A = this chain, B = another copy of it.
Amino acid sequence: MRIVVLKFGGTSVGTIKKIKKTAEIIANYKKKKYKVIVVSSAMSGVTNELIKKSSEISENFSSSEYDVLVSSGEQMACSLLAGRLIHKGFKARSWLSWQIPIITLGKHKNSRINEINKKKIIKYLKEGGTPIITGFQGINNESRITTIGRGGSDASAIMIAKFFKAERCIIYTDVEGIYTTDPNKFKKAKKIKIISYEEMLEMASLGAKVMQPVSIQDARLNRIDIEVKSSFIKKSGTLITKRSNIISNKIVTGISSTQNDSKVSLIGVRDKPGVAAAIFKPLSKNLINVDMVVQNISANGKETDLTFTIKAEDLNKTKKIIENNKNIRFRKLLLKKDVSKISIIGVGMITTPGVTFKMFQTLAKNRINIQVISTSEIKISVLIDKKNTKKALIALHKEFELGRTK
């Protein structure tokens, strides 16, 4: 059985008109003789509206009831989509997670799919039916509705693709694919035709909001090809696949930038073992995520400066924690809000020397000062002044020839 999983995001089913359009997309796949499994999100806006209601009922709304509440959004969207397909003469029906069932593990609001019972869906596919499965949810071992914490309906689609051994999982969304950089910030950004899971992971975690890292990681682990494409424009999107499928002469695949980072510097910290741990332990305890870390070489062997980045929203909390931390001493605490992290990403870096130099040189030529640097195998990130973000994006985009069509 050649199965393809089609996942539609909230904007793809956001209005009655869009649901009709989405039904047409599904119908076209049916004509190609694929067995199609559809996964749908809630109509855009619906989930937020339900969450708002829950917070009006209680500032500490029960997480199990939260799952019952918000899961109704996908139920509505799936029934409308199934209804449209039936209207068009197809055999289709909504499948709610408890009807399959899709079994999750973990806490309410933050579960993960553990098992999908395939029997009923396989039977239904063999009968020529198109199942429209509710994304973002499942039931736990006590038959209570659960929702998937991170990744949402994307994660559902990828797990369904895994369990049903689908040839491909197509994520329909409101963008045309993954871009070399954010097209809202830089108009010359190009759509990437093909990208590896690893690159996509770096892109996703660094600010490309199209897909959640957890979903890409699931796809990578299960070797599922994902295509991200627009449900509004008939164009091929971006294929996310394993590295060996990619033949490219490009060193850098994409550039991402974040704008909600803040920089924290502790000046005159005693340079002795255990100091970094003493600083970061209470931050970690308070769920503050430390990203880039730099420690200067100590000039006199006694004192050093320590700089790290956090999310801007954690800045005040971080300040208080450090000031109240009796296990550390420092001369000065510097906080800087207006910073931006620029990253270049590409598997090509592994085999190409000098990429780091090329990046630094490009920024230097443009008089952009680098404040912090962090690198991985396929990524180089630098922290710069926020005001230089666009200038850096444009310069790096040009330098690494991302505007060039492959």
- Which residues of A line the B interface, CB within 8 A? 16, 19-20, 50, 53-54, 56-58, 60-62, 64-66, 68-69, 71-72, 75-76, 78-80, 82-84, 86-87, 93-94, 96, 98-99, 143-145
Contacts and interface: CB of A to CB of B under 8 A. Distances in A.
18 contacts: A54-B83, A57-B87, A58-B83, A58-B86, A60-B87, A62-B82, A62-B87, A65-B80, A65-B83, A66-B79, A68-B79, A69-B76, A69-B79, A69-B83, A71-B75, A96-B145, A99-B143, A99-B144
Contacts of A76: 50, 53, 69, 72
A54 B65 CA distance: 26
A312 to B, nearest CB: 32
B69 A57 contact: no
A142 to B, nearest CB: 9
A57 B143 contact: no
A62 B75 contact: no
A89 to B, nearest CB: 11
Given A58-B83, A76-B72, A16 B53 contact: yes
A65 B79 contact: yes
A13 B145 CA distance: 22
Contacts of A62: 82-83, 86-87
Nearest to A134: B68
Contacts of A98: 98
A65 B82 CA distance: 7
Interface pairs A-B: 5 shortest CB-CB: A58-B87, A68-B79, A69-B79, A72-B72, A65-B83
A123 to B, nearest CB: 12
A357 B310 CA distance: 89
A68 to B, nearest CB: 4
Nearest to A67: B79
A76 B94 CA distance: 18
B65 A69 contact: no
A49 to B, nearest CB: 10
Given A57-B83, A64-B93, A71-B75, 13 more contacts: A16-B56, A53-B80, A57-B84, A58-B84, A61-B83, A61-B87, A62-B83, A62-B87, A65-B80, A72-B72, A72-B76, A72-B79, A75-B75
A143 to B, nearest CB: 6
Contacts of A84: 57-58
A78 B83 contact: no
Nearest to A72: B72
B53 A66 contact: no
Given A79-B69, A99-B143, A57 B93 contact: no
Residue among A20, A50, A54, A65 with the highest chain B CB neighbour number at 10 A: A65
A75 B72 contact: yes
A94 B68 contact: yes
Residue among A19, A50, A96 with the highest chain B CB neighbour number at 10 A: A96
Contacts of A50: 76
A84 to B, nearest CB: 5
B80 A54 contact: yes
Contact of A68 (B60, B68, B78): B78
Contacts of A83: 54, 57-58, 61-62, 65-66, 69
A53 B143 CA distance: 29
Contact of A65 (B19, B53, B71, B86): B86
A19 B50 CA distance: 14
A72 B78 CA distance: 11
A19 B65 CA distance: 15
A83 B94 CA distance: 27
A99 B16 CA distance: 30
A50 B43 CA distance: 12
Contacts of A64: 93
Contacts of A99: 143-144
